[in-house]
Structure 1
Amino acid sequence: MDQTTLQDALAAEEIKAANELTRRWLTSRAEIPAVASGLGIWPLLAVLATGAVEATREELLEAAGIDIGQAAYVPAALIDAARSAPALRFALAAWAGPRIALDPEWVAGMPVDAIGSLTGDPAVDKPALDAWASRNTDGLIEQMPINLEEPIELLIASALSVRTTWRTPFEERYGPFASGPWEGRGKVLTAAYKEEVVRVGPDAAVLTVQGDDDIDVLLALGREETPAQEVMSTLIDAAADPRWGRPASDLTAGAPSIGVTFREYQGPDPQTTPETTATVPAFALDSDLNLLDDAAALGLELASDDELAQFDRLAAQRLYVSQARQTATAVFSATGFEAAAVTAFGMAYTGFPAQTHPHRTAVVTFDRSFAYLARHRPSGLILIAGWVTEPGD
């Protein structure tokens, strides 16, 4: 039986909504994280919206860019469709404490086998939750990014991982960058292409590195004075529009663009295709983000207010989002790219403190800061994005 692809499971407007959440979230921050996943957050907002009412629901839906009908099927559709993408894994689950009575309609709307239990004892719950995070990211992330020492009555989480190998592998240069802002630093990777892989616009150059299994990683180098938020927004535009900018081969040697120079050489045969040499740094990045710092951009202001949150269609008890965190990692190497994100929303009782107990536990040359993202090529869905401030060792 054929599996549903991402581009079939999600409408173009839904893919755009998920990508726009990534843009709005990352560009709203004073500093763009080294690695982050708006896609890890997007279905969780949908899950919360199906259990919310009135203003809380409207805020969540507006942030997710979908209506309540779409919110009801997006999480399960995303999980089902991810199975058709060999390089991509996606999982979603919820765990309820013993004192929570979940709404049967909300439970029925969750993906199959997505509901688990919390005991309330961190010594028991933490290993199980950490094992779920590790299992669903192929070991890239080993811990659930939530503090179980604080009261948690309901936990909702997503896990995303992507792994691909380059169609054209890079070569590792034995030495750091020889010039530029990162002179003397970094592990330099180079690749030569006989195709058009660089497009240039007025304020950025974008390199598309194609991986196997329908995954691309795009790097964007902006002008030195351009804020990171603008470079990231430009990169998202370029990822969505194959007509963005113009190919580097259209440039003349006398009018180079950002990060693009030209060299001439003598070869034994006539040139019949565009030729590009890309020079980039290897990088390995991690981040641990408190998403409540970005509550306005993510539609969580009312949801995280212990007096105003309204989740009447989620549980019999009054709940609010007391924790929202994401742990993410990304590695760009000579042979490929791998990244993962685990996003978790912890919910606690509103209006009064829950009982707690004390516990104790132990060529284009990217030689300066640049933006990057990974996308699912056929659908255009952005999976991971971030900002590289330092070259890898």
Structure 2
Amino acid sequence: MQPTATSVRAVNRLTARWAGSLPGPRGTVVSATTLWPLLAFLQDAAGGPARDELGDATGLPAAEAAGAARGFLEALGAIRGTRAALGLWTRADLPLHGDWRARVPAGTAGTITGDATIDRRTLDGWVDERTEGLIRSMPVHIDKSTQLVLAAAQSVRTRWLRPFFETEVVPESGPWQGRLLLGLHRTTSLLDRVAVAETPDGPLTVLKILGRTGVDVHLLLGHADMTSAQVLRHGIGTLAGTGATPVHGDRLPLGEAGPGLRVSTVRSRTPRPVLEVLTVAFRVAANHDLLEEPALFGLSTASDTSRGHFPGISPDPLAVGSAGQGAVAVFDAKGFESATVTAISVMAGGMPPPPRYTVRHVEAVIDRPFGFLTVHRTSRLVLTAGWVTDPLPFPEDRDDDEDRGYDDDREYDDDREYDDDRGYDDDRGYDEAVGT
């Protein structure tokens, strides 16, 4: 089971809309996958202008919103390496319409007491458990006026098909110039893992790092003047096939072929081409107050507390009191992990033989601020999107003999790329996939 094409388009549209509004330059991470279903459940119950505004954010007719949100959450939780959960807490004395409650997935109900200390402990415990400790607190304000809290959590963990070696990186230019950073290095013969997309704001380099669970990370590097909003928006656009078709590594011109990319020919012991990747490890965390830009998420009218906007939830007048998201993403030599929680509260290497071949060599160096997308490979759903401005430093106490990403005694075939269902890339012939 995977998300429907309609849901993927709608969620990716909201992610692009959000990413396109990000202020820069600062590191951040966002996820519409935990926000979109909450907006859809609220849209289903909303009335008047609030219903229309939420529909603009979800991209769905109100009659379809709750069913689509429920199906999306079920499909999201079925993606290997991904956990998803929905939580709904209400005051015991808040009357709920049974038909709306029935459209919310079973097993999500809880109670809040009106005591902020008790309720905060309950909600924070749910967040900690659902994100496996990556996030510790519910990202909304809770007090005695809170009548209802609707939250969604997601965690993603994947191991790379081929780990990186850890190394030292000291950029020679750019914002990270002179800093000793924890670098990640590896090579492959699959040149289609990198591409350059021409966008209205300039060329964009897209580098795919494949995970073992069918969840991949796309690293995005634009030219130095491109903003985070431009890079992330165009990166999501390449998934939807908008704009010019990206040019992959095997067809890039010699020389400076794109941001961070240089293509040349080198002497080699084998006839295989080489894609050499050097990037940096990072950990990015962010908290977002969604009501700072309520129109972006269809919450302008819904957050007007002078009147009620959700007659489908309760006969009591209700309005959005707060809305927020907490998110974290970690990228290192062995894999990637991220977690997001969105909530809305409602108020009332030996010596080689001599080289024999001349082969194409593509070098990708990402050593200045860049974007990233976590992408479900088969559906192209963007699980998280982020911007890296503060990479991890190289540890001063690192032991030179320490593991640098994988066991040196193990022989890795850098052409053996697996998918989550068949054991090799579904979009490549088997012989090519295993390097025969």
* TM-score, length of structure 1 as denominator length: 0.90
Which structure is higher in strand share? 2
CA offsets 1:100-156 (integer angstroms, 9 cap, x no match): 111111101100111211011122222221111111112211211122246211100
Deviates more, 1:158-167 or 1:301-310: 301-310
Instruction: Quote the residue 1:353 is aligned against.
Output: none
Unaligned runs of 5+ in 2: 349-362, 394-436
CA contact under 8 A between 1:176 and 1:184: conserved in structure 2? no
CA offsets 1:160-208 (integer angstroms, 9 cap, x no match): 11000001111101x2324232233221111111112100023111001
CA separation in 2, counterparts of 1:304 and 1:178?
A: 46
Counterpart amino acid of residue 38 in structure 1: A
Q: 1:309, CA displacement in angstroms?
A: 4.6
Change (3 A) 1:131 1:255: closer
CA separation in 1, counterparts of 2:22 and 2:376?
A: 25
Structure 1 vs Structure 2: percent identity of aligned residues? Answer: 33
CA contact under 8 A between 2:116 and 2:144: conserved in structure 1? no
Instruction: Quote the residue 1:194 is aligned against.
Output: 189
CA separation in 1, counterparts of 2:378 and 2:88?
A: 30
CA offsets 1:52-81 (integer angstroms, 9 cap, x no match): 112211111111101123212123212322
CA separation in 1, counterparts of 2:112 and 2:266?
A: 66
Instruction: Quote the residue 1:390 is aligned against.
Output: 390
CA separation in 2, counterparts of 1:20 and 1:80?
A: 20
Instruction: Quote the residue 1:44 is aligned against.
Output: 38
Instruction: Quote the residue 2:288 is aligned against.
Output: 289
CA separation in 1, counterparts of 2:107 and 2:391?
A: 42
> Secondary structure, in 3 states, of the residue corresponding to 1:66?
coil
Deviates more, 1:293-302 or 1:235-244: 235-244
Counterpart amino acid of residue 208 in structure 1: K
Counterpart amino acid of residue 188 in structure 2: Y
Instruction: Quote the residue 1:299 is aligned against.
Output: 298
CA contact under 8 A between 2:44 and 2:312: conserved in structure 1? yes
Instruction: Quote the residue 2:137 is aligned against.
Output: 143
CA separation in 2, counterparts of 1:42 and 1:17?
A: 8
Q: Which structure is larger by alpha-carbon Rg, 1 or 2?
A: 2
CA separation in 1, counterparts of 2:173 and 2:334?
A: 25
Counterpart amino acid of residue 98 in structure 1: A
Unaligned runs of 5+ in 1: 350-362
CA contact under 8 A between 2:369 and 2:388: conserved in structure 1? yes
> Secondary structure, in 3 states, of the residue corresponding to 1:6?
coil
Instruction: Quote the residue 1:354 is aligned against.
Output: none
CA separation in 2, counterparts of 1:43 and 1:102?
A: 19
Q: 1:389, CA displacement in angstroms?
A: 1.3
Within the alignment, does 1:95 sit opposite 2:89 as a pair?
A: yes
Instruction: Quote the residue 2:49 is aligned against.
Output: 55
CA separation in 2, counterparts of 1:61 and 1:309?
A: 18
Instruction: Quote the residue 2:19 is aligned against.
Output: 26
> Secondary structure, in 3 states, of the residue corresponding to 2:95?
coil
Q: 1:365, CA displacement in angstroms?
A: 1.3
Change (3 A) 1:192 1:323: same
The root-mean-square deviation of aligned C-alpha atoms, in Å, is 1.7
Corresponding residue pairs, total: 370
